[in-house]
A = this chain, B = another copy of it.
Amino acid sequence: MSAMNQFAIETPAPEFEVAAWLNVRQPLSLAALRGKVVLVYAFQMLCPACVTHGLPQAKKVAASFSRNEVEVIGLHTVFEHHAAMGQVALEAFLHEYQIGFPVAIDSASGTGPVPKTMAAYGMRGTPTLLLFDRAGRLRQHHFGMLEDLQLGAQIAALLQPTPAGSDCLDGRCRIAPHA
C-alpha cells in the first residue's frame, strides 16, 4: 500500500495533555483505551481542509466501525488564531457540524503557539491523523489528507488478531512480544 507515513513504533506514545474534554462523560486516555484501535484526528475548527475533508472522514470512520473496536477522537490543536478558537467557539462548531465523537482540547504550551500534545507528537500542522493499535502503540502518523480506501485498510489491518509473536502492517511484519 502506498503513501503511508510509517512511524517508529518502538517509541512509547506520549499520553494526551488535555485542557478539556467535550462530548464525553469522563476524560479519556490512551492508557484506558488499550484493547481498541484508536484514531486521533488533530484539527482546528477554522482549518478548511479539516472542515471539508478530515472531520467528515472521521465521522465516517465512527459510523463504519463498532465503537467497541475503534475509538475516534478529535484533538483540537490550535496553533494560530487562538482568540478565534476558544472552547466556547469550539462547542458552537461541534454543535453546528453535528460532531458527536469525543473531542479533546490540547493544552496550551505557555511558552509558544503550539499546544503540548501537538508538540509532543511533532505534528507539522492540521489535519494530522494518528492511528494507535490495540496495544496503544502509534502505528500511523499522517499529515494532510488520506484516501478513505487507505484509511479503511489501515484500520482493518490493526483490527485483525495476529499470530502470537508477530506484528504486521502494510505487508511488513516484525517479531516482537505483545505488550
Residues of A within 8 A of B (CB): 1-2, 46-48, 51-52, 57, 60-61, 63-66, 69, 80-81, 83-85, 88-89, 91-93, 95-97, 147-157, 159-164, 166, 168, 171, 173
Contact = CB atoms under 8 A, between A and B. Distances in A.
B150 A96 contact: no
Contacts of A166: 161
> How many protomers of this protein does the assembly include?
4
B171 A161 contact: no
A3 to B, nearest CB: 8
B147 A150 contact: no
A170 B93 CA distance: 33
B85 A92 contact: yes
What are the 5 A-B residue pairs with the smallest beta carbon separation, nearest first?
A: A152-B152, A153-B156, A81-B92, A148-B148, A84-B92
A173 B96 CA distance: 40
A24 to B, nearest CB: 20
17 contacts: A1-B64, A1-B65, A2-B63, A46-B93, A47-B96, A60-B147, A81-B89, A81-B95, A84-B89, A89-B89, A148-B149, A149-B152, A152-B153, A159-B171, A161-B162, A161-B163, A163-B164
Given A52-B52, A84-B89, A153-B155, A66 B160 contact: no
